[in-house]
Structure 1
Amino acid sequence: MEILQKLFYTDLGNTANNIAILIFRVLFAWELLTVHGLKKIQKGPQAEPEHIPNPLQLPEKLNAAVAQFADTIVPFFIALGLLGRLALLPTIGVTAVGYFVVHRHDSREVRDIPFMYTLCLFLLLLTGPGTYSLDYYIFQLLKAY
């Protein structure tokens, strides 16, 4: 039960903090999905999907799948606060590789975007999704049994 508590239960101390992290989660997830996720899956005659770098030399389909999952599916988990801490891991991996590998020789202005995304993701990893999340309600149900 203790491990479930660490994964699912997060109470940031008061209503204002829990509402603040809810707003942060939803806005962050929206930005991640609309700015980065949708570019990775654009389809149609006029649309050209974004090039996905592969600095770790993974198989191309695996690399694309991880990047697409991290930027298109994970935002829904973040916004809902569902498997909040676990769901962040693929996106932290993608943004950290972007910062430390893909853009390591670029200017600070270019490196700023993956750095800020990684920083925001670490904040969510440390705080958890708060009491206004599906994780919190799942934990309450599990605790009742």
Structure 2
Amino acid sequence: MSNNYKTILNLKNTDIALFLLRIGVGGLMLTHGIPKLINLFDSNPIRFGDPIGIGMEASLALTVFSEVICSIMIIIGLGTRLAAIPLFFTMGVAFFIVHGADPFKNKELALFFMIVYLVLFLTGSGKYSLDQYFLKRKKG
């Protein structure tokens, strides 16, 4: 049987896959976060949902923090596990509360992002990350 179908993980390929996953999911989330960042600093009054009852401004600020700051952290692989937590929570709010009554097809993207952030929380950033770079410097 071909080596392509082995179930044992190849660590080099896993690290490359985690790198690609981080770049992809972080970049895609930035496309959602950058418009919200612009909205946050715009001179117009803030109009944003308040799904958990903390106020529109606070909801927008926390969403911007997770979708922009945490996404950048995931892209560069700095504090990846910690950065995945606010993103997982934000996508959970989007899935269960903001789009809770919507048909599944309108909220499946939030669920997809939640799954990816859970995977990154469980695996960490992998070898090609600032987390790994700083870990090596600390040991060496």
TM-score, L = length of structure 1? 0.80
Which ranges of structure 2 fall in alignment gaps of 5 or more residues? 1-8
Runs of 4+ in 1 over 3 A off after TM superposition: 48-52
What aligned pairs does 1:42-53 form with structure 2 within 5 A after superposition?
Answer: 42=38, 52-53=48-49
Task: Sort the Cα spacing of 1:121 and 1:51 in 2 relative to 1 into closer, same or farther, 3 A.
Answer: farther
Using the alignment, how far apart are the partners of 1:132 and 1:122 within structure 2? 19
Task: Find out whether 1:143 has 2:126 as its counterpart.
Answer: no
Displacement of 1:13 after TM fit?
A: 5.5
Residue matched to 1:6: none
Kept in 1: contact 2:49–2:56 (CA 8 A): no
1:102 corresponds, among 95, 98, 103, to: 98
Task: Sort the Cα spacing of 1:57 and 1:135 in 2 relative to 1 into closer, same or farther, 3 A.
Answer: same
Using the alignment, how far apart are the partners of 2:10 and 2:128 within structure 1? 12
Tell me the alpha carbon deviations over residues 81-116 of structure 1, each in whole angstroms, 9 at most, x when there is no partner: 001101111111110011111222111101201111
Residue matched to 2:29: 32
Identity of aligned residues (%): 29
Kept in 2: contact 1:41–1:68 (CA 8 A): yes
Using the alignment, how far apart are the partners of 1:56 and 1:13 within structure 2? 42
Paired amino acid for 1:23: L
Using the alignment, how far apart are the partners of 1:55 and 1:130 within structure 2? 34
Higher alpha-carbon Rg: 2
Aligned residues: 128
Displacement of 1:42 after TM fit?
A: 2.9
* Aligned residues: CA RMSD: 2.0
Which ranges of structure 1 fall in alignment gaps of 5 or more residues? 1-11
Displacement of 1:28 after TM fit?
A: 1.0
Displacement of 1:50 after TM fit?
A: 9.1
Higher RCO (C-alpha under 8 Å, 6+ residues apart): 1
Using the alignment, how far apart are the partners of 1:15 and 1:88 within structure 2? 22
